[in-house]
A and B are shown apart, each in its own frame.
Chain A
Amino acid sequence: GENVEQHPSTLSVQEGDSAVIKCTYSDSASNYFPWYKQELGKGPQLIIDIRSNVGEKKDQRIAVTLNKTAKHFSLHITETQPEDSAVYFCAARMGKLIFGQGTELSVKP
């Protein structure tokens, strides 16, 4: 069935280091892949997205890569800061958005 797998479930990095979160999706017809950041008690906030006709997209310290053949996409955060600490969700559009399980990122000062 439709599924998005996300790894790791938790990630702890030192401030200034990079963080990488990876997702795979099951439906090869998926054509849109957003990433959301969720802070405690708040709704998911869109931070970056990529469409299937693009292999990579960057916005300041955040980048997303997409490998359609392998059905993988990844979020890269460089120069991490304590305020990057949150739960990050990947998602893939298979008609509706299907979310991954989430990654709890902790950035230690």
Chain B
Amino acid sequence: EPEVTQTPSHQVTQMGQEVILRCVPISNHLYFYWYRQILGQKVEFLVSFYNNEISEKSEIFDDQFSVERPDGSNFTLKIRSTKLEDSAMYFCASRGPPGEKLFFGSGTQLSVL
């Protein structure tokens, strides 16, 4: 069964450093998302991406965040200067037309020290 793949599974970084979280969505999907989940809390929407541009973003997704689809398979989330409060599990998700079903990856646990 096709799945969304995320790398790395764990990322430890120092405050102020840049991190790039990587995702390979399901191959025929066109809509891509990043969500995050702080330990013990709900899954929060960060950004949606379609047709090579951001279609919607949340208040969390400030100027420190960016997304990119550098080629036909990868979808990345970059945090330019990490803060302690960026520590969370980050999930990539994708869906394809015309369906609604959103499929999630296993997540990247980001720890900012």
Contact = CB atoms under 8 A, between A and B. Distances in A.
Interface of A: 32, 34, 36, 41-46, 49, 51, 89, 93, 95-102
Nearest to B44: A99
Contacts of A95: 56
30 contacts: A32-B100, A34-B102, A41-B106, A42-B106, A42-B107, A43-B4, A43-B6, A43-B106, A43-B107, A44-B43, A44-B91, A44-B104, A45-B104, A46-B101, A46-B102, A51-B100, A89-B42, A93-B100, A95-B56, A96-B33, A96-B48, A96-B56, A97-B33, A97-B102, A98-B45, A99-B43, A99-B44, A99-B45, A101-B42, A102-B43
A99 B42 contact: yes
Interface string B1-27: 000101000000000000000000000
A41 B91 CA distance: 12
Q: Is the interface of A mostly helix, strand, loop or mixed?
A: strand
B103 interface: yes
Interface of B: 4, 6, 33, 41-45, 48, 56, 91, 100-107
A35 to B, nearest CB: 12
A96 B104 contact: no
A97 B48 CA distance: 10
A97 B4 CA distance: 17
B105 A102 contact: no
Nearest to A100: B42
Contacts of B45: 96-99
B91 A43 contact: yes
A96 B47 CA distance: 9
Contacts of A99: 42-45
B100 A43 contact: no
